[in-house]
Amino acid sequence: MNTTTMLQILGSGMLKTAAIFFLTMVFSLPLGLFFSFGRMSGNVVIRTIAKFYISVMRGTPLMLQMIVVYFAPYYVFGLRIPAGYRFVAVILSFVLNYAAYYAEIYRSGIESIPKGQYEAAEVLGYSKIQTFVKIILPQVVKRILPPVTNEMITLVKDTSLAFVLTEVEMFTAAKQIAAKETSILPLMAAGLFYYLFNLVVAAVMEHVEKRLNYYK
C-alpha cells in the first residue's frame, strides 16, 4: 500500500470520527436537557420514564446499545435494514447514550441553583420560562462546563466503537492498515489524532469557561 492510499484511508477515517463526534454533540446536548426536565418533573409517570431511560442508558454498554438499535427494526418490526442505516444507527446510539449522561449533568447543575433565585425572579414578575432562560440557564451552563468537557473527551475516544457496525472510523482504518502492512505506525498515527482532537476540544471548552468566568 503506497503512502497516498494510506493517507486517503486515514483521512476518510478522520472525517468519519469527526462526523460522529459533532453529530452526537448537536443532538445529545438538547436531548439531554429534555430528559433532565423529565427527570425533575412533578408528574410521577414522566419522572419514572425519564429515570428508567437514564438508568438503562447509563447501566448498559454502549456497544450493546448499538447492536440493539441496528437490529431492532428487523427483529421487532420485521423491516429490512438498508445498508445506509449503519451510520444512522451509530449516531442514534451515541445520541441516546450520551443524552442520558448529559441529562444527569444538567439536573445536577439546575438543582444546585438556590431556590431563592426562583422566588426573587417571581417577585420581579418573571415568568417561569424567562426565569430559566435569563437567570438559571446562564449559571447552569457555567457550572456544568467541566463535566460536559469530560464527556466530550470521552466521546472522542468512544467513536472507535463504531467498528461494531462495520463503520470505518479513524481507529478501525488504522487497524486495517496496520494489519495489512504489519506496522504499528498507523496505530500511533491514530493515537496522535485522538490526542490532538481532544487537545482542541479541551482548549475550546477552557476558552468558553474563561469567557463565562464573570467573577474575575
Q: How far is CA 179 from the centre of its chain?
A: 30
Residue 97 belongs to a domain: yes
Domains: count for the chain:
1
Q: Which domain holds residue 82?
A: 3-211
Domain of 42, CATH number, reads 1.10.3720.10
- Share the mean pLDDT of the chain: 90
Residue 122 is assigned to a structural domain of this protein: yes
Under the banding of pLDDT at 50, 70 and 90, the label for residue 24 is very high
pLDDT over 90, % of the chain: 58
Classify residue 47: in a domain, yes or no. Answer: yes
Place of cell 506496522: 183
Span 50-91, pLDDT tens digits:
999 999 999 999 999 999 999 998 888 888 888 789 999 999
Q: Is residue 216 part of a domain?
A: no
Kindly report, residue by residue over 141-172, the tens digit of the pLDDT. Answer: 888 999 999 999 999 999 999 999 988 899 99
What residues have CB less than 8 Å from 209, skipping those under 6 apart? 142, 145, 146, 149
The better pLDDT of the pair 103, 127 is held by 103
Within-domain flag for 127: yes
Q: How confident is the model at residue 215 (pLDDT cuts 50, 70, 90)?
A: low
Model pTM? Answer: 0.90
**Span 15-20, average pLDDT:** 94
pLDDT value, residue 182: 86
Three-state secondary structure string covering the chain: CCHHHHHHHHHHHHHHHHHHHHHHHHHHHHHHHHHHHHHCCCCHHHHHHHHHHHHHHHHCCHHHHHHHHHHHHHHHHCCCCCCCHHHHHHHHHHHHHHHHHHHHHHHHHHHCCCHHHHHHHHHCCCCHHHHHHHHHHHHHHHHHHHHHHHHHHHHHHHHHHHHHHCCCCHHHHHHHHHHHHCCCHHHHHHHHHHHHHHHHHHHHHHHHHHHCCCCC
